[in-house]
Amino acid sequence: MTDLDRAPVDDDSLLPADGSAAQDLPAGPALIDVPAARRWLAILALALGGFGIGVTEFVTMGLLPNIAADLLPGQYAVDAAGANANAGLLVSAYALGVVVGAPTIAAAAARWPRKRLLLVLVAVFVVGNLLSAILPSFGLVLAARFLSALPHGAYFGIASLVAASLMGPDKRARGVAFVLGGLTIANVVGVPFGTFLGQNFGWRSAYLMVGIIFAVTFVAIALTVPFRPGDPTATMRNELKAFTRLQVWLTLAVGSIGFGGVFAVYTYVAPVVTDVTRQGDGFVPWVLVAFGVGMTIGNALAGWLTDRSVKRSLVIGILGTGVSVLAFALTAHTVAGLMISIFFVGAFAGSCSPAIQTRLMDVSHNAQTIAAALNHSALNIGNTLGAFLGGVAIAAGFGYLAPAYVGVGLAALGFVALLASFAVDRARSRA
C-alpha cells in the first residue's frame, strides 16, 4: 500500500471512529491510471447512470397528481388530497427499495469486479423502469418502483468508488461529486422534461424514457469503464463490520433524518404549485428546474469544499437545509418565494450527499464498498421518512405547506446527530 492509495484525513477529523491512530485509517480506492480522455469518458458514462437514477427517482413527484388520477381514480374523484397522499407511497416504495438494496447488494457482491457489477445493476434499472411503464394497477406499479430502486444505492456507491479511483486521492470528493452531478443535472433537465412528457403523453411515458436512458448507460459503461479484477479478500463479513462502528451509525442518522427535510417538501411540490401558489400544471416543471439548478450548484461546490473539510461541508449542508425548508414554508404562497426557496432547498440538498459519502468512507475503515452504498440508504430513509410524515400532515388536514414544517424538525434532528458525531471525534482524540 502506498501513500497515494491512502484516503486523506479531514483537516479537523483527528482520529477515526474506533480511536486508532490516524495512520491506521483505511485505504481509499486504489488509483486507476488510464489516459485522460478515457478517464473522462468513463466518468461521463457513470454520471449518465446517475442522470437516469435522478429522473426515475424524482419524476414521480412532479407527476404525482397525474398518477393518482389514473391509478386511484375513485379516491381522486372524491378526495384529491388523500389520493395524492396515497400516491406518495410510490416515492416511499422507491426509497425503501434503495434502503434494502444498497447494503444487501454491496455486501453480497463485494468480491465482484466493479465494472461487471455496474452492468448488472444498470440492467435491473432497465427492467424495473419498463415494468413501471407498462404494469396496469397501483399495487403492481408500487412493486415495480421497489424493484427499480434496488440497484440505486449500490450503483452510486460502486460508481463513486470507481470515479474516486479515476480522479486520484487528492480529488476523491470531486470524483464522487461528478457521479452525483448526473443526478443533479437530471433535476435541471431530465425531471422537468419527464414531467412535461408525462403531463402531455401520459405519466407512463416518463418511465419509458428512463428505461431508454439506462439502456444507453449500459452500452456506455461497457465501452468506457476500465475493467479491474475483483478483490478476492473482500467478504460479506468484513463489509458488515461497518455496522459495528458508532460513527457509521451517527453519519447515517445525519443523512436519514436531516435529509428527510428535503423530501418532506419535494415530494409534494406539485400540489403546492397548483393549490398554494395557484399556478397551473405547466408551471411545475419550472419549479423542478429551479430545484435542479440549485442541486447542481450545491453539489459542485460541495465536491470542492469537502476535499478541504468534510466537517465544515456537513455543517453548511444540514443547517442550510433547515433554513431553506423553513423559508419555503413561509414564502411558497408567492411565485417569487416559491422559486427562490426551492432553489436553496435544492442547493443545500445537493451539498449534503458528497460530504456524507466521504464521511462514511472515512469512518468505515476497510468496509469501503458497503459504506459508499450506505450513503444512499441513509438519504432514501430520509426520502421515505419525509414523504411519509409529510403525507400524514396533509391527510390530517394541515395543508400542503405542513410537510415543510415537518422538514424543519427533521433537519434540526439531523444537525443534533451531526453534533453528536463531532463530540465522539473530540472525545476519542483526547483519550
CATH of residue 271: 1.20.1250.20
The reported pLDDT for the residue numbered 27 is: 43
For residue 14, is it within any domain? Answer: no
Q: Quick one: cell of 282?
A: 405547466
Cell readout for 159 is: 460508481
Contact between 342 and 329 (Cβ < 8 Å): no
CA distances, 345 to each of 202, 314, 324, 383 (Å): 28, 15, 5, 14
Q: Does a structural domain hold residue 338?
A: yes
**Has residue 24 got a pLDDT over 50?**
no
Specify the pLDDT at position 127.
95
Whether residue 1 is contained in a domain is answered as no
pLDDT 10s digits, 55-110 = 998 888 778 889 988 898 888 888 887 888 788 888 888 878 888 887 888 777 77
Q: Is residue 145 part of a domain?
A: yes
3-state secondary structure string across 339-399: HHHHHHHHHHHHHHHHHHHHHHHHHCCCCHHHHHHHHHHHHHHHHHHHHHHHHHHHHCCCC
For the chain, the domain total comes to: 1
Residue 272 inside a domain? The answer is yes
How does pLDDT run across 149-177, given as a tens digit for each residue?
A: 999 988 988 888 888 777 766 666 677 77
Confidence band (pLDDT; 50, 70, 90) for 26? very low
Check residue 233 and give its pLDDT: 64
pTM of the model: 0.71
With cut-offs at 50, 70 and 90, classify the pLDDT of residue 292: confident
Q: Which domain holds residue 288?
A: 35-430
Question: Which carries the bigger pLDDT value, residue 305 or residue 209?
Answer: 209
Residue 24 in domain: no
**6: phi then psi, degrees, rounded to nearest 5:** -90, 135
Q: Report pLDDT for 431.
A: 66
Mean pLDDT, range 320-346, rounded to an integer = 94
Q: Model confidence at 270, in pLDDT bands (50, 70, 90)?
A: confident
In a domain, 4, yes or no: no
Share of the chain above pLDDT 70, in %: 87
The answer to the question of residue 121 being in a domain is: yes
